[in-house]
Chains A and B, each alone.
Chain A
Amino acid sequence: GEDVEQSLFLSVREGDSSVINCTYTDSSSTYLYWYKQEPGAGLQLLTYIFSNMDMKQDQRLTVLLNKKDKHLSLRIADTQTGDSAIYFCAESTGTASKLTFGTGTRLQVTL
């Protein structure tokens, strides 16, 4: 079955890079996603990667996928206070591309 795990909390200083990690168990995942959720808001899609890719870069965001180890990471360069939020990774599996989420990592950015 599907299971997605993330660490609960990460604290970084403004200007540093943040790396949020995620592991998943279902080797048949087709896409893997990163979402950002700010307090009281819905989930904002940040980026996603097809399972046959190793890396995807989009401005300050870099996604790395190690399919052998079933490990996904999101790197945020030059982290800003506005990046403080909860970050969820998710995998899609099956014919309906069902999404399974991790429990979320709370990123705290300090001055």
Chain B
Amino acid sequence: DVKVTQSSRYLVKRTGEKVFLECVQDMDHENMFWYRQDPGLGLRLIYFSYDVKMKEKGDIPEGYSVSREKKERFSLILESASTNQTSMYLCASNSPEAFFGQGTRLTVV
């Protein structure tokens, strides 16, 4: 069974903390993505990667960075968490079927 796994389902962090969201896929997909989902705004692309060590900015990259050291793992980093980064974060991989992880609901207090 194909799988995209996000390391945490729920996270609560303090303003200013450095936050790591991890995503692992077991399908040997080249492409991986990070989205955030907010009510009324749909899914917005933060960053994506089409190969190891390759990354591209999506539509809303400000305040985020990413790391793709291995093909199966794509990490999203919030350098200094802020309350406006409270959201549901979704990781995906595709080739061409696109599968999503279960999501991480991050609350920044």
Contacts and interface: CB of A to CB of B under 8 A. Distances in A.
B98 A101 contact: no
Interface of B: 30-31, 33, 35, 40-43, 45, 48-50, 56, 58, 90, 92, 94-103
Given A31-B96, A45-B99, 12 more contacts: A33-B98, A42-B90, A43-B92, A45-B97, A92-B94, A92-B98, A96-B30, A96-B56, A97-B98, A100-B45, A101-B35, A104-B42
A41 interface: yes
A94 to B, nearest CB: 9
A92 B96 contact: yes
Interface residues of A, number: 24
A41 B103 CA distance: 7
A85 B103 CA distance: 16
Most chain B Cβ neighbours within 10 Å, of A30, A42, A97, A98: A42
A41 B100 CA distance: 10
Contacts of A95: 50
A23 to B, nearest CB: 15
A92 to B, nearest CB: 7
Nearest to A44: B100
Interface of A: 30-31, 33, 35, 41-45, 48, 50, 88, 90, 92, 95-104
Which one of B30, B40, B98 has the highest number of Cβ atoms from chain A below 10 Å of its Cβ? B98
B90 A43 contact: yes
A42 B40 CA distance: 17
Contacts of B31: 96-98
Given A96-B31, A98-B33, A99-B45, A45 B98 contact: yes
